[in-house]
Amino acid sequence: MKDSFVNVRCDENNPKWEQAVKREHSLYNRNGIRSEFERDYTRILHCEAYRRLKHKTQVFYAPQNDHICTRIEHVNHVASVSTTISKHLGLNAELTEAIAIGHDIGHAPFGHTGEDILNKLISNQKEGKNAPKKFWHERNSLFFADYIETLQDPDGYGTNLDLTYAVRDGLICHCGEVDQQGLKPREEAMDLYNIKRPGVVSPYTWEGCIVKVADKVSFLGRDIEDARSYHILDMAAYRQLREIVGATLGFGPNKKYSNHTTNGVYRSGRAVNTTVLINDMIVDLCDQSSPEKGLCFSEPYYKFISELKRFSYANIYKNWRLEEFARYAENILSTIFRTLMKLQVYAQNGRVEQALRYMPSLQKTFGNWLVKYSNYDAQKKNILHVKTIQVFDINDNESWEKCIIEFISGMSDQFAIQAFNEIVGF
């Protein structure tokens, strides 16, 4: 209902407020023009990891098709959905927008396929802040926000983003792929690096919960739309989708297939496409949710979302063309990983640039990465004008592996392909 969450919104009247706006350090350029969360929004907006999302796969790798959803478009969809819901329910839309725009800055190239590949590449090692046993992009988004991404301060030095606790919490707790009705925020603050798996800890704020739900709402309809553009769905799949729409939501007998609609499904004369699906799910969520019940859908829509996810996994994500794409991506990322793993001795001797002299893109970017975030060539850090702390130890095997995994995770699809071509080219 309209403004039904206004009394639990994250603002100065909320007992969680002091913790929610807490930062590690005091920011420069403080003024009364922007709120704390507006400042976080613009800090994420201007960081390089956000910019690279425009060249990262969402589901379908299609660099020549401007109308296939990329990671940055998905992020903007989540921001739009979460902001709409927050404004209607009376929550802090500035907080949801900041979380939403940053929630995937730690995503690997080549979508969830890339995430799976990086997981395979990580050897067994101890849990820890700088040496996770598994790669999962929610924690990697937090890691990038805390340790990797920088903005220039008034003196021209690159310094870390230093986001508020509420936004950082929303980044690591945003997993929208776990089915959950009655979602509510947790009461206690915690060390966010103690979260070991995605989807098991609720966000600290209602606004973070909104982004978690919006992440699911945003991708379901759009993935089906892109699958049609990719010519993955056949007539049998469309019939199955039509049955899901009719049986789950009871849209009546007037349903038919048409090439003139986005996904070929009508409900009582009204096309069910991305716009309709997102609108209807938002309306249902806003009507059904309350601080007492939590964020929830009606039973028909909850069932519909579950059925739609099962349909997408069976007919889209497991399609043979995407499996071939996964093999392509694995060859690229594995080659880069193996190549850089061999350079630890060169790093210890200060000769990484020499070892990569025939690979100019890797030479520059990986060399600068080591200078910024490891104990490699500390003198050059002043030349690069950065004040980042040491994150990786080039003398420690686990830390070296973590260093390479994180470097690869930050790549765009195109840069990964370019690096691969430099390695195998002559």
Each as own residue / partner, the long-range contacts of residues 231-240 (CB below 8 Å, 24 or more positions apart, any chain) are 232/315, 232/316, 232/319, 232/321, 233/263, 233/264, 233/315, 233/316, 237/311, 237/315, 238/263, 238/264, 238/265, 240/311, 240/315
Residue 118 burial (CB count, 10 A): 25
Give the integer Cα–Cα distance in Å for 53 and 414: 11
What's the confidence (pLDDT) of residue 181?
85
DSSP secondary structure code for residue 243 in this structure? H
Q: Using a pLDDT cut of 90, give the percent of the chain over it.
A: 66
H or E element that contains 281: helix 274-288
pLDDT in tens, 166-196: 999 999 999 866 567 899 999 999 999 999 9
In order, the DSSP letters of 353-416 are HHHTTT-HHHHHHHHHHHHHHBSS-THHHHHHTB-PPP-B-TTSHHHHHHHHHHHHHT--HHHH
pLDDT in tens, 99-158: 999 999 999 999 999 999 999 998 644 444 454 468 999 999 999 999 999 998 888 888
Paired tokens of 69: 């959803």
Question: Residue 366 class from Cβ within 10 Å (0-12 exposed, 13-18 middle, 19+ buried)?
Answer: buried
Paired tokens of 92: 């802090």
Which has the closest alpha carbon to 280: 238, 319, 243, 308? 308
Contact predicate 167/134, CB 8 Å: no
The domain segmentation of the chain, as residue ranges, is 6-220, 321-424
Give the integer Cα–Cα distance in Å for 172 and 418: 30
Give the integer Cα–Cα distance in Å for 201 and 17: 20
Give the integer Cα–Cα distance in Å for 29 and 169: 24
Burial 72-98 (b: 16+ CB within 10 A, else e): bbbbbbbbbbbbbbbebbbbbbbbbbb
Q: How far is CA 345 from CA 51, 348, 407, in A?
A: 33, 5, 18
Burial 368-392 (b: 16+ CB within 10 A, else e): bbbbbbbbbbeeebeeeebebeebb
If one looks up domain 6-220 in CATH, what number appears?
1.10.3210.10
Mean pLDDT across the chain, nearest whole number? 88
Give the integer Cα–Cα distance in Å for 41 and 154: 19
β-bridge pairing 150-152 and 158-160: antiparallel
Residue with tokens 């070892």: 355
pLDDT reading at 263 higher than 50:
no
Which has the closest alpha carbon to 333: 408, 398, 407, 418? 408
Contact predicate 344/351, CB 8 Å: no
Give the integer Cα–Cα distance in Å for 200 and 151: 32
Give the integer Cα–Cα distance in Å for 13 and 331: 53
Give the integer Cα–Cα distance in Å for 62 and 351: 37
pLDDT in tens, 385-398: 888 889 999 999 99
What's the confidence (pLDDT) of residue 241?
86
Query: DSSP 3-state assignment of 254?
Result: coil
pLDDT reading at 54 higher than 70:
yes
Give the integer Cα–Cα distance in Å for 99 and 101: 6
Give the integer Cα–Cα distance in Å for 104 and 124: 25
Mean pLDDT of 53-74: 90
Contact predicate 125/131, CB 8 Å: yes
pLDDT band at 260 (very low <50, low <70, confident <90, very high): very low
Give the integer Cα–Cα distance in Å for 364 and 361: 6
Which has the closest alpha carbon to 205: 107, 69, 94? 94
Mean pLDDT of 330-345: 97
What's the confidence (pLDDT) of residue 176?
66
Contact predicate 295/210, CB 8 Å: yes
What's the confidence (pLDDT) of residue 258?
36
What's the confidence (pLDDT) of residue 30?
66
Q: Tell how far CA 124 is from the center of its chain.
A: 24
Question: Residue 341 class from Cβ within 10 Å (0-12 exposed, 13-18 middle, 19+ buried)?
Answer: middle
What does the radius of gyration of the chain's CA atoms come to, in whole angstroms?
23
